Amino acid sequence: MTPAGLRGTAVLALLPLLALTGCGSGGGTPVPAGAQAPADDPVADVRTVDAVASLLPADVRRTGTLRIGSSIGSPPSAYYPNGQDKPPAGQDIDIADAVAKVLGVRLERQGASFETILPALGSGKYELGTGNFGVTAERLKTVDFVTYVNDGQGFAVKTGNTRLTNRITDLVQLCGLTVGTGAGTTFEKTLTDRKGVCTAAGKKPYEVKVFSEPGAVTTALQQGRIDVVMSTINGLRHQAAQPAAQTTFLGEYHRLDVGFAFKKDSPLTPAVQAAVNELIRNGTYARILKKWGTGASAIEASQINPAEHT
């Protein structure tokens, strides 16, 4: 959506705000002109590691390909540089590409909306998925995860907002406000499940507005139809660092492991876990996170299906 005039310019500056993951949402939203990818290419020198590649199922080794569904939203996770429908860039893209190179396979990547990827794993449409998917107990009932970063939930407001100025550590701080977030995300579930905290505290409940399109929530924030956004820590922090965005990050609320998603009991998980750990060992992983400014989300080792952080 591109509103006219000056309002349109402001909205375009904010469009990447919610392209989050797994936290958050996806859907290939446009990125403002000039939003180029960093020049560093830490994936270029990654080579196949035979000992890791040998962990792949025989049929994958035979075809040499993996089908991946990727939610493409905005930096630093995954986005289209300069707002064009060209090969995507971002932390998720680099890590997935590096894993594929360690495994000696080619990725057949298809952009997909965030909420469609996990169901499509069960149907076999994709063999793995990326979308800054947070590892939760509920998701572990139906899909498997191989972790690659630690991100989570945070809040942001339009700069100048006087109703919320401090870090949000308790949802009671949201009472009486309107909170915007993405459909099908951990944010929506957290806000919905805990909506009774305001009534219990004798306060007016907060209202939750859910948006399927990442650009829609930023438009709502810009126009004052919502007071605060709940989304990924890395995405909101990255957005707030862009002067034109005029958003203020209100800090971390809850951390979550983030991982590649697979159908339940997928035979691919040991190989992908070993590939991530190889990237951590050889330094490629640290270079990728440095490129995207997400070093605070580094993990020491990849895990398969870790318990949800509480």
The pLDDT value given to residue 61: 96
Return the CATH number at 172. 3.40.190.10
Q: Is 279 helix (H, G, I), strand (E, B) or coil?
A: helix
Is-contact 133 258, C-beta < 8 A?
Answer: yes
In the chain, DSSP finds a helix count (H) and a strand count (E) of 11, 8
Is-contact 132 20, C-beta < 8 A?
Answer: yes
The verdict on 144 and 158 lying in the same domain is no
Is-contact 240 249, C-beta < 8 A?
Answer: yes
H or E segment and range at residue 169: none
Is-contact 15 30, C-beta < 8 A?
Answer: yes
Is-contact 246 158, C-beta < 8 A?
Answer: yes
Q: Which of 305, 191, 194 is nearest to 257 (CA)?
A: 305
In a domain? residue 36: no
In a domain? residue 290: yes
The verdict on 191 and 239 lying in the same domain is yes
Q: Is 269 helix (H, G, I), strand (E, B) or coil?
A: helix
The verdict on 138 and 273 lying in the same domain is yes
The pLDDT value given to residue 200: 97
Cα distance between residue 109 and residue 103, in whole Å: 16
User: Beta 106-111 vs 65-70: how paired, if at all?
Assistant: parallel
In a domain? residue 118: yes
Give the residue numbers spanning the domain of 66: 50-148+258-297
In a domain? residue 30: no
What pTM was estimated for this model as a whole?
A: 0.82
Q: Going residue by residue through the chain, which has 310 residues, state the pLDDT in tens, using 9 for 90 and above.
A: 333 333 333 333 333 333 333 454 333 333 444 456 777 899 999 999 999 999 999 999 999 999 999 998 778 999 888 766 678 999 999 999 999 999 999 999 999 888 899 999 999 999 999 999 999 999 999 999 999 999 989 999 999 998 898 999 999 999 999 999 988 888 999 999 999 999 999 999 999 999 887 668 878 888 899 999 999 899 889 888 888 778 899 989 999 999 999 999 999 999 999 999 999 999 999 999 999 999 999 999 999 999 987 6
The verdict on 268 and 142 lying in the same domain is yes
For residue 134, give both structure tokens. 């947070």
Could you give the dihedral angle defined by the CA atoms of residues 9, 11, 17 and 19, in that order, rounded to the nearest 10 degrees?
-100
The verdict on 178 and 122 lying in the same domain is no
Domain count along the chain: 2
